[in-house]
Amino acid sequence: MRSRFATVRSPAESENAARSPCTLCGARDAALLSRKDRRGRPLRTVLCRGCGLAWSDPLPAPDALASYYRDRYRREYQGTQRPRRVHIYRNGRNAIDRFRQLRRWLSPQARVLDVGCGGGELLYLFARQGYRATGIEPHAGFAEFAIREYNLDVRIGGVEQVELEAASFDLIALYHVLEHTLSPDLVLAQVRRWLKPTGALAVEVPNLEATCQAPNHRFHRAHLFHFTHATLAALGQREGLRAEHAELSADGGNLFMVFRPAEPAPVDRTALRENFVRVQSRLAQHTWLQHYTSPRPYLRAVRRLVRTLEEHWAVRGRRCGREILDACFAALPAA
């Protein structure tokens, strides 16, 4: 099956040569990680031998990627052009967890930017808590829903298309955004310009080293880049962002990192080469046998079933997004 993205054409190269140079270190020497995505469709994913950053190779053409996220991503990923009630409730619960995670970096009356705000659940919670909240969302249907349903300030487009005042935000959040971008280095550079000198940038991405999913479920067609603690921190450092805090989700599947503005600095190439060796070894150790003889996949399936039942019960009788979120956020104390 052909990729849904039009790709940048390049001459045929060996298995150990990436068709797109590494965004972090510029190398083309790469190890082949996979030829298929999690659904068994063709998707070439490589791991840079110079630093341990992984990416889809070749990367899609910019115009095709922008069109995909603007018009088709939400429909293919969630089966809808606007948020469904059950998704609103799920995202509302996630918004509470994220708000609690971010609270220590929030000052009273802080100005907050949520990049990739989706249907606006976290943004609405920020607004309810008294923060001056702005969102960016490339999908017009979800962005317009957030504007209409919650009266939010949402700019439609990608980071490279939206114009915002420099040094104007106290906190910028990128939850599961960076892995979808064609140039994560340029995205970090842009959001740094929007950040106040005393501000904080919070980034969450899937953890490349996670073992909570089966080995063949690691690579998602819409995830162009795959990060570890070392590569995410190094990319931020190169773009003038110093990693201040990092943590993994309870299952190890997601990596959360908070940055502060700093002077751009070169990366430690020796340490990054060691990161490649470590990541390659860890991925090789996560085998089908190891995964399915552990309790993790079965506990994960049970938790998903329980979550689905809870979500459908919670939205019974709720007619609109605002009603669902107001009920969801009611127990959260005001800032």
The answer to whether position 3 is within a domain reads: no
Amino acid at 176: H
The answer to whether position 7 is within a domain reads: no
Does residue 56 have a pLDDT over 50?
yes
Range of the structural domain that residue 300 is part of: 80-329
Does residue 2 have a pLDDT over 60?
no
Question: Residues 191-216: pLDDT tens digits?
Answer: 999 999 999 999 999 999 999 988 88
Task: Report how far residue 329's alpha carbon sits from residue 93's, in angstroms, rounded to the nearest whole number.
Answer: 8
Is residue 75 within 8 Å of 81, Cβ to Cβ? yes
User: What is the SS3 assignment for 313?
Assistant: helix
Q: Between vectors from CA 70 to CA 64 and to CA 75, what angle results, nearest 5°?
A: 105
The answer to whether position 156 is within a domain reads: yes
Which is higher by pLDDT, 51 or 216? 51
Q: Between vectors from CA 330 to CA 327 and to CA 335, what angle results, nearest 5°?
A: 145
Mean pLDDT over the full length of the chain: 91
Which is higher by pLDDT, 331 or 174? 174
Q: Which stretch of DSSP H or E encloses residue 272?
A: helix 269-285
The DSSP result for 71-127, as a single string, is HTHHHHHHS-SS--HHHHHHHHHHHHHHHHHHGGG--TT-EEEEET-TTSHHHHHHH
Q: How confident is the model at residue 297 (pLDDT cuts 50, 70, 90)?
A: confident
Task: Report how far residue 237's alpha carbon sits from residue 82's, in angstroms, rounded to the nearest whole number.
Answer: 37
Task: Report how far residue 172's alpha carbon sits from residue 122's, in angstroms, rounded to the nearest whole number.
Answer: 12
The answer to whether position 38 is within a domain reads: no
240: domain CATH number? 3.40.50.150
Q: How confident is the model at residue 88 (pLDDT cuts 50, 70, 90)?
A: very high
CA distance readout (Å), 158 to 68, 83, 94, 163, 222: 12, 19, 23, 10, 15
Question: Residues 227-255: pLDDT tens digits?
Answer: 999 999 999 999 999 999 999 999 999 99
Task: Report how far residue 222's alpha carbon sits from residue 78's, in angstroms, rounded to the nearest whole number.
Answer: 13
The answer to whether position 200 is within a domain reads: yes
Count of domains forming the chain: 1
Is residue 198 within 8 Å of 135, Cβ to Cβ? no
Task: Give the sign of the dihedral formed by CA 163, CA 167, CA 173, CA 178.
Answer: positive
User: What is the SS3 assignment for 186?
Assistant: helix
Q: How confident is the model at residue 335 (pLDDT cuts 50, 70, 90)?
A: low
Amino acid at 11: P
The answer to whether position 153 is within a domain reads: yes
The answer to whether position 31 is within a domain reads: no
The answer to whether position 244 is within a domain reads: yes
Give the start-end residues of each E strand in 129-239. 132-137, 153-156, 169-175, 195-206, 225-226
The DSSP result for 91-107, as a single string, is HHHHHHHHHHHHGGG--
